[in-house]
Amino acid sequence: MVTPSGLAEEAAAAAMAEYVECMDEITRRSRFVQDFYGLSVDRFPLPVVAETVGLQMRKILELIAKASLAAHRAAWDEASLWFKRDWNAKAILERIEKVNPRFYPHPVKESQVFASGPLKAEWEDVPEDIYLTKGRFIDAYDAIGKMMHAHLPGESVDYGGFLLRTRAWDEQIHELLAMHQVFLLGVPDAFFLVQMNVDGRPTWSQWAKIESGEPPQIL
């Protein structure tokens, strides 16, 4: 079978295996952050807690930004270098967008499923006020970078306020990824629907528009 994008089914599946691995790592890191919140109360200095959580959140954000490139090692490696060399999230996302203009996950919720004939479905966009938009991604990444940098002795740092913000970011990331469409580099004519399961690995299916005005059909 060949998908409408021209990619063999096996190649598309391999690309999504790489993507799902990124989503799986995001889930594991998010669970660590949530567990660490509970374990760290009164056990570790507040700066240590903030820096530990901040590091995990930064890793999660980088995985979100790079995941659609996962099946293309050269593009992935180049994006990884950008994160190492440049702390400016806006500039990094603009570079990734030039490689894959639709790199950012598109959060949706199912609105209608058509049972007759081949499986077709429609989705509604998730309201922007509840998920991690690209603008909020930039704000979060830059705030983490500022907090992680060395501070002068005696400099006042609001670690408690920072941790409250990380909780909000974690919730917004959940809303971004719970059910989302992703457009992989090299698959221009179809998209993948990804669902992040509470138990077990994320699941995915491939969809494509079949006619103008028609709902997407599963492949």
Q: How many angstroms separate the CA atoms of 15 and 187, rounded?
A: 9
Residue-wise pLDDT tens digits, 99-149: 888 889 999 987 665 555 555 667 889 999 999 999 999 999 999 998 988
Beta strands in the chain (DSSP E): 106-114, 120-125, 179-182, 191-195, 203-208, 217-218
Higher pLDDT, 27 or 191: 27
* Whole-prediction pTM: 0.84
Q: Per mean pLDDT, which of 3-12, 79-88, 171-180 is the most reliable? A: 171-180
User: Residue ranges of the domains in the chain?
Assistant: 9-104+127-178
Mean pLDDT throughout 167-178? 96
The pair of structure tokens assigned to 193 is: 């629907």
